[in-house]
Chain A
Amino acid sequence: MTDQNMTDFVRAQIAQRTNLPLEDVQENSVLVDIGLESIDAVLLCGDVEDTFGVEIDPSMIFEHDTLGEFVNAISALKSST
């Protein structure tokens, strides 16, 4: 199950970094398609790490196509530690 707080946080961060309206950034959004650049993806990982206290593997964001898959992967990591 998706962590709603984390989903909201990641959506807001991505909307800000891609200059898209929040409603255009959804769980099923494909990160590459909505124009999230790799440099911003990396900074997003840092923000998630700081905010949710979970250690993210830097390759994670590149291994998951959609926002929802990325958040699920982090949630799984968070609950396993």
Chain B
Amino acid sequence: MTTWYLGLSTTGHDPALAIVDAQGTLVFAEATERYMQDKRAWGIAADHPAHLEQALADVGADPDRDTIVVASTWQTKKAELPPEMVDLMIPASHSLWLWHLHQTAQSNIGTGVMRLGYSAKPPTVKRYDHHLCHAVNACHQSPRQDAVCLVLDGEGEVGAASVYDMSARRLKRRWRSWGLGSLGAYYSKMTLLCGFDWRLGEEWKLMGLAAFGTPIPELVEALCATVIVDRGRLRFAPAEQIEQVMLLAAKHGRSRSDPVLDGANLAASAQDAYRQIADQVLAAVLPETPAHLVLTGGCALNSSYNGTIARRFNTAGVSVPSAPGDDGNAVGAALLAWMEDTGTDGVPTGTHTAFLGSKPSHTALAKARTYAGGCKVTQCGADTVRQVAALLGAGKIIGVMRGRAEFGPRALGHRSILADPSKPDMKDKINRLVKGREAYRPFAPVVPLEHAQVWFDHAQAAPFMSFTLPWKPTQGAKVPAVVHEDGTGRLQTVTAQDNPWMHQLCQEMGATTGVPIVLNTSFNIMGKPIVHSVEDAMAMFMTSGLDALLIEDTLFEK
């Protein structure tokens, strides 16, 4: 008999589950949206029985033998508080909808565990502070002994910012922000005004669009004034003032049917104001003696901002976990439950990997090999890198599904679409033939860490694509498909140790084309989550302009 610690992200959006074993090792983590193939999986239980069953089978749990300890990512049931406590920036109807989803998520915790026979009655749920879950998840993925951990998101137990000091792996909260002030809610509002929908996770589009616009000084100033920073804590300005500023902002906004670039100046202004507000928080949080900064919470997905921190603030380095959003909290809750049960004070140090999800089913892959009529099927064995590099060099677009899925929103080479970024038309080609997304949005480069400083200014390790950095002016021209409008790239750095296959592929591309960089975009079509099963991957391969598909070491070519 053994005990498994099941962390469930129970906000109501971005549900996820994480499993920690009896030794405190994180053995599995996966967002529900992947299994369900439903973006953000709104309202779906984090312990959805079929998903949970697959995850528990993966780790070798047995309902006849084992015990499951269930942990949730919220300490307070928001349902017990007045609903007007959630958010001011986003429309009240959105807030109320969120509140109901949250209520449902809280009340259903553990039913999946019952369904699978691990508990005859609703299990006792261990509940942990939402921001503490963020912090534990983020620090678990950091190898540091000491760090300052800043959590910035849409909403927490009492507010949307918290600061923790980690000393010898022990976390202690320094303070938390109370009330409605929230950079996450601010960014959601800006997303709406730019004609995008935060409920679809379209904050990315706002961030990408910002590069095409010019900040409007008086608008930036007005936007900055909507979020008051008091010793790092966040407060919203009075409601009437926010209303006035939003009327001004809306004049520069766009509706969903307007041309995208109509919103560019608002996007640039919104991002600039975000930077100024977040800067005030960092200035209040960072100590005089340089410390390592661990940044997490949904706002830590703002890679444009993140990439500017290390060169402008006196820190000993900046890191962001692979899943800084609410999905990542499942890991925090599972670890906290284990720590509580075993009397462990310090946050365990993880393996720093994001490859924590499901593996492709070998049974499904065998079927695909047998029944993929019309495709050329090759068993590459140990030769996958050379064969994929050859196809990339020939201008092919390749879907890749190898090993365990990434935990977090970024595809890091295990569920990726790859291409050669030196081909000038590659960005348009992928958008046209495969992704179907807006032409202005950038694609990301993968570069070996040891080459990063040759290609980027202010190079830093970015294993989870958390930092957007400026290309060196002469270098960007060599990889036009991965240079954004403002001359930046949201790079992924790889090392032979942490991502050997992608590292070898970059090296092979360097040897054959002279450029050790690969274009990497997530293996999905616009509006859908990253593919989960072999069947998902095959379906997208057959219904898009992908030229080839590599699943483990089997190569399918059209």
Chain A interface residues toward B at CB < 8 A: 38-39, 42-43, 45-47, 49-50, 56-59, 62
Q: Which 10 A-B pairs have the closest CB atoms?
A: A46-B178, A58-B158, A43-B179, A42-B179, A42-B178, A45-B178, A58-B76, A38-B82, A43-B178, A59-B80
A58 and B81 form a contact (CB under 8 A): yes
User: How far apart are the CA atoms of A44 and B235 in the complex, in Å?
Assistant: 12
A17 smallest CB distance to B (angstroms): 12
| Interface residue? B176 (CB, 8 A) | yes
Chain A min CB distance to B273 (Å): 23
Known: A43-B179, A47-B178. 20 other contacts (CB 8 A): A38-B84, A38-B85, A39-B84, A39-B179, A42-B85, A42-B159, A42-B178, A42-B179, A42-B180, A45-B158, A46-B159, A46-B176, A46-B178, A46-B179, A49-B175, A50-B175, A58-B76, A58-B157, A58-B158, A59-B81
The CA-CA distance from A39 to B80 in the complex, in Å, is 16
Q: Contacts A58-B157, A58-B158 given: A46-B177 contact, CB under 8 Å?
A: yes
* Chain B contacts for A46, CB-based, 8 A: 158-159, 176-179, 233
Main secondary structure of the interface of B (DSSP, over half): loop
Q: Which residues of A contact B158 (CB under 8 A)?
A: 42, 45-46, 56, 58
Whole-angstrom CA separation of A39 from B84 in the bound complex:
9
Shortest Cβ distance from residue A14 to the other chain B in the assembled complex, whole angstroms: 15
Closest B residue to A47 using CB positions? B178
> Could you tell me if A57 and B76 are in contact, using CB atoms closer than 8 angstroms?
yes
Produce 1/0 per residue, B169-182, CB < 8 A to A: 00000011111100
User: Are B81's CB and A49's CB within 8 A?
Assistant: no
Residues on the A chain within 8 Å of B233, using CB: 46
Contact B176 A49 (CB under 8 A): yes
Distance in Å: Cβ of B501 to nearest Cβ of chain A: 46
CB distance from A46 to the nearest CB of B (A): 3
* Interface bits B142-179 vs A (CB < 8 Å: 1, else 0): 00000000000000011100000000000000011111
**In the complex, what distance in Å separates the CA atom of A47 from the CA atom of B85?**
17
Residues of A within 8 A of B175 (CB): 49-50
Nearest Cβ in chain A — how far from B476, in angstroms? 45
Per-residue 0/1 for B230-259: is the Cβ within 8 Å of any A Cβ (1 yes, 0 no)?
Answer: 000101000000000000000000000000
Q: Is the CB of B180 within 8 A of A39?
A: yes
Distance in Å: Cβ of A5 to nearest Cβ of chain B:
20
Question: What are 21 residue pairs bridging A and B, where the CB atoms are less than 8 Å apart in the complex?
Answer: A39-B179, A42-B158, A43-B178, A43-B235, A45-B158, A45-B178, A46-B158, A46-B159, A46-B176, A46-B177, A46-B178, A46-B179, A46-B233, A58-B81, A58-B85, A58-B157, A58-B158, A59-B76, A59-B80, A59-B81, A62-B82
